[in-house]
Structure 1
């Protein structure tokens, strides 16, 4: 009986020590990424900054110049892309100044709210900031025309930007009511 109690105690401890899947962010399918993104674009990171005054939901942002718009972004425009916000899991794995990335983003910032005893969220600051649409799976580095870590590939290999753009544009066309900013070459 003592062995069974010890085994159950050990099992309970192991279960409590394993990472919680409830807080684990999963990568969306390409279709869901497109559907949840207001803007999809290639951009060059000009700077990493902090808001001049305290801004709820924004601790750090990248100033990004849009070099190519795929959905919703204006080419040549500078955007403030949140890289560190109030929700840790929503922070992307980017951005290095001078580097190019493929961005999947939504207009505004996700802000935590507390109503009664329930925690929720809302989108605020539309038009002032853009934020990741799928947390760390919202940005993909581009080096020498190759998109690194594109879904469906093992970490490390890269896919040509032209192929990735074509895949996104085809998925956009299949998505009802979505316009492609730039036609396929």
Structure 2
């Protein structure tokens, strides 16, 4: 009886494992959905990185971005873009000072934004070939 119960528990655990393994995967948004869910879509240059040296993972980190061209919305000439947050899988692959990026962003403060589709909402234009 105990062996049968252990086998059933093992089978249940194996059935749940694929669900747990996919928990941190990001859903890929289509381009039209990214644009629709974004407050702004801009091309900009990273001109600075948040000097906050706090190493705690849950403290957001920001980059200062000079907006070169706005494709949607009316951002200021410079905006703050969160590039590090409490969930590593959601961090965009960004931000190197001097590089240009295409940003799909949602507003989270007066002049602060976060990627609309996490790491899939910011594209490095400088290194494209």
Whether TM-score is above 0.5 comes out as yes
| Deviation by residue 1:32-60 (Cα, 9 ceiling, x = unmatched) | 1011100101010111114599xxx7521
| C-alpha contact (below 8 Å) 1:41/1:73 kept by paired residues | no
Consecutive unaligned residues in structure 1, runs of 5 or more? 109-124, 147-157, 159-185
Q: How many residues align?
A: 123
Please name the residue that 1:107 is paired with. Answer: 107
Distance 1:98 1:105 in 2: 19
TM-score, normalization by structure 2: 0.75
TM-score, normalization by structure 1: 0.54
Query: 2:126 matched to 1:143?
Result: yes
Distance 2:87 2:111 in 1: 18
| C-alpha contact (below 8 Å) 1:62/1:95 kept by paired residues | yes
Please name the residue that 2:37 is paired with. Answer: 36
Distance 1:84 1:22 in 2: 19
Q: Aligned-pair RMSD on alpha carbons? A: 3.1
Aligned CA distance change for structure 1 residues 74 and 59 (closer, same or farther; 3 Å)? closer
| Larger CA deviation: 59-68 vs 17-26 | 17-26
Match of 1:105, SS? Answer: strand
Aligned CA distance change for structure 1 residues 105 and 58 (closer, same or farther; 3 Å)? farther
Consecutive unaligned residues in structure 2, runs of 5 or more? none
| Deviation by residue 1:60-115 (Cα, 9 ceiling, x = unmatched) | 1111100111011447x11110001234333111111111100000111xxxxxxx
Match of 1:143, SS? Answer: coil
Distance 2:40 2:113 in 1: 8
